[in-house]
Structure 1
């Protein structure tokens, strides 16, 4: 998304808590990027999670004086930047932090007793600061309805949904997709790739996994002979993997789920956990279709995938078997059309319109001072 914003605002300056210059996209390499004092701490980029208690202080130390428009792309602390009184501050919120809001208990369970001892008071402080920072925002943009509801629940702030940009221009349809299933994403516990591996092991289906992460070793141990790890792929290699897969498997409870959109841009169906952002990016075929009550589409809805109800191996297995029974019902062209509704051009149009509206409202309601 930052690349798109950089193109939309070619004169804008960028601020960040940390920057890995070697990982910057080409469009950002020559832009002015100011980082916080945390970026200058030796080893900070490796242990950034342990520096979370310092994020509020670091982000408030960033000097944004003199800017008329501030856009914060937030998933943790950047919404807390301090701006001039006249500045319009709009926050594109990826999600209120899970670690000290809705998944607080789950995070604590995974910690040692000593870590829990520290995490409990720190998370209480971070919740208070996070809520306070959210009240300073002039306008919230949510990346999905799922996140919109979270913003209201934890911040009591209204928001406008604008889905993240996905460049669908290079995507293409394959004339003869292969018979492998595909999984794309970081190999971390929250992605529940273990469920996909276990299901494909038991069904004897080929699964190709794109991505790297700390769980890779454990997942390789779990994987059977039909599971292949592809590591990192180039953009063209990833598009080829999308276009030629039987379907994309997606087991995470995501706030939005861009991977599912990317696969649909290549006309491929999705088998996803039916919760979170997947309910918005994938048009799931209803259960009566699975049971043969309605084994063909009526033309009014172009379904793009199937959902499984639980994060269990059995639930994933059942969804795969249901998909294979009705795979002929999916139209790659219609799936691709659905993905186009999330294209970058749609994002740019909606985002600029929102900024313009917020700017007009601000000027309209600015008080007149008479001395």
Structure 2
């Protein structure tokens, strides 16, 4: 599926300065379109070595002080950065975005497809999480008002939307009034199934696992509070701006872990009782990743997690989004009730070859429409 395309295509992404599920999607798209350049607002080479395979084009923001690491300091300029790019030499542009990349401007002969992870989170679905009090909302009202107006205009520019889940499709309809088809993001299914036991001696028995960026909307605090009160060991893999606060909430059974290799993370997945997803996921890549190693998932019963977990077979749901609801599920959860092969079989439904095939078909259909 990596053969050269018979059309000229460019990829556009919000910013290249971290590693996560969206970045895995970009690498899969690179396998599909190896000659496609990648346009972005800023590129931090130190924190994004994964992007070395791309021919990267950055905007004027790249030259602004600290912009590569702190793009959020220039929210009013980011829309202009994407509008400044010229795509006249391309037949297709594919914006991969949860923010501003959809705002590029193309001429009629260039088709624009938006692969949308979610409508801009801090402007719409999670506005109250980002701005939880009256003071923050009052202080940011002018810039948020401007950005919402621009975001609605930008949302009208793609010719076609592809959502990563039913959840995101509904948000696109609600906030942008646009229809979308669904192509689930790719998950690399592991070929290796046996991993080193180097970590075994330092880990508690029967631990639960959270793998997440540590930011407020991920609601890792719910998992911490539930496990604190039940006395259950919880390992949290990830970093982020909310880490200090989350550590302050944690009791003696909670551990924070950084800088794991892929093999080490796989071992943590395999030996955990379950992965806990306390947030409303756009899709839930880590949910599928956990299942690919035979590990069941406990997820909040709202959002994309409900699309990647089969209740009673590969995991369980909890509702509402409270520590008490999660505690109730944890009290009755037993890993032996979930067959690893069922989890792995479900994960294979989201493999990268299926993603490549569906994406190629969607692009070809739009080109020839």
TM class by smaller structure: 0.7 to 0.9
Shift of the alpha carbon at 1:11?
1.0
Structure 1 position 274 matched with structure 2 position 294? no
TM-score (norm 1): 0.86
Structure 1 position 125 matched with structure 2 position 149? no
- Structure 1 segments of 4 or more deviating over 4 A? none
Structure 1 position 215 matched with structure 2 position 212? no
Alpha carbons of structure 1 residues 123 and 269: separation in structure 2 relative to 1, 3 Å: same
Q: Would you say the 8 A contact 2:99–2:121 is kept in 1?
A: no
Q: Which of the residues 161, 177, 195 maps onto 1:140?
A: 161
After TM superposition, the structure 1 stretch with the greater mean CA deviation from structure 2, 227-236 or 69-78, is 227-236
TM-score (norm 2): 0.87
Alpha carbons of structure 1 residues 148 and 173: separation in structure 2 relative to 1, 3 Å: farther
Q: Would you say the 8 A contact 1:212–1:232 is kept in 2?
A: no
Gaps of 5+ in 2: 1-24
Gaps of 5+ in 1: 286-302, 362-371
Structure 1 position 83 matched with structure 2 position 123? no
Alpha carbons of structure 1 residues 81 and 171: separation in structure 2 relative to 1, 3 Å: farther
Shift of the alpha carbon at 1:239?
0.8
**Residues 3-30 of structure 1, C-alpha deviation per residue, up to 9 Å, x if partnerless?**
111111111111000111123354x314
Q: Which of the residues 252, 260, 264 maps onto 2:279?
A: 252
SS of 1:232's equivalent in the other structure is: coil
Structure 1 position 159 matched with structure 2 position 159? no
Structure 1 position 315 matched with structure 2 position 321? no
SS of 1:253's equivalent in the other structure is: coil
Q: Would you say the 8 A contact 1:171–1:239 is kept in 2?
A: no
SS of 1:15's equivalent in the other structure is: strand
> What is the alpha-carbon distance in structure 2 between the residues aligned to residue 283 and residue 173 of structure 1?
25
Q: Would you say the 8 A contact 2:218–2:278 is kept in 1?
A: yes
Larger of the two Rg values belongs to structure: 1
Alpha-carbon RMSD: 1.9
SS of 1:53's equivalent in the other structure is: coil
Q: Would you say the 8 A contact 2:98–2:121 is kept in 1?
A: no
**Residues 224-275 of structure 1, C-alpha deviation per residue, up to 9 Å, x if partnerless?**
2211111121111111111111111110111111111100001111111111
Question: Number of residue pairs matched?
Answer: 338
Structure 1 position 234 matched with structure 2 position 258? no
After TM superposition, the structure 1 stretch with the greater mean CA deviation from structure 2, 218-227 or 334-343, is 218-227
Specify the alignment match of 2:347 in structure 1.
339
Q: Which of the residues 118, 121, 137 maps onto 1:98?
A: 121
